[in-house]
Amino acid sequence: MIKNVIVRKPSKNFADGITTSNLGKPNYEKALKQHEQYIEALKKCGCNVTILDADERYPDSTFVEDVAIVTEKCAIITKPGAQSRKGEEKEIIDVLKKFYNNIEFLSGNACLDGGDILRFENHFYIGQSKRTNAEGAKQLTEILNKYGYTASTVPVKKILHLKTGIIYLKENTFIGTGEFIDNDTFKDFTVINVDSKEAYSANCILINDNVIIPKNFPNSKKALINAGYKTIEVEMSEFEKMDGGLTCLSLRIPVDNSK
């Protein structure tokens, strides 16, 4: 269960962030409204939401998931893989101290984005992408092992982050698209297939028995409802323009370690 969630408001220079989407420049005011709707969806799921002020030094800083990994037993500060995002991770430490007594850190040549970390029960899949290197995966695995978790790596070849293409829901069921539909790593699980036209909607969030999904992806919504999930739709057009998905916008803290 998730009780506490941390988000950060989009900065005024949000449109200056990193993107490969070719969907045009995002509208800042519209992004703010969509972010507010996202927060309301989290509250509907029963979460307490800590809202951080925008950090104008970092255009991508609203994508707060990339700077930390949160579990019941510890929080881990990452080392973002993009040069323009280095330093973002330092701004989350004091916030996490409100929820954790033990915070771990990656060091040295490690690079790792939280968007590459997919949790399946007590196992963590680490996407090896352009943003997460082998050293980052190695250090994260060592930290997770120390707390009784297991981890393994998954190549990410065609998309930004692992969770851009596949998300764990519950009861051995994932939702995925593209290179992860027939991926050997997930061959023993049920994978709800998201077709290429709605690939963006593969990045959704299961929170306390509700699945928050991006709006205007009817096939994905139908597939989730048919699989027995309750859905909450949130408009995400401005964040999609910046390669950002629903998971990217929050740090979701498991209830066992919240204060």
Mean pLDDT estimate for the chain? 96
Q: Give residue 259's pLDDT.
A: 42
Q: Are 249 and 229 in contact (CB under 8 A)?
A: no
Q: Which of 47, 74, 111, 248 is catalytic?
A: 248
Average confidence (pLDDT) over 230-242: 98
Is residue 248 flagged as an active site residue? Answer: yes
At 46, phi and psi to the nearest 5? 90, 20
Catalytic residue among 35, 45, 111, 161: 161
Average pLDDT over residues 222-231: 98
- Would residue 35 show up in a list of annotated catalytic residues for this protein? no
Output the pTM of the full model. Answer: 0.96
pLDDT at position 258 over 90 = no
CA angle 69, 70, 74 (to 5 degrees): 110
Ordered domains of the chain (ranges, CATH) = 2-257 (3.75.10.10)
Q: Per-residue pLDDT tens for 36-80?
A: 999 999 999 999 999 999 999 999 999 999 999 999 999 999 999
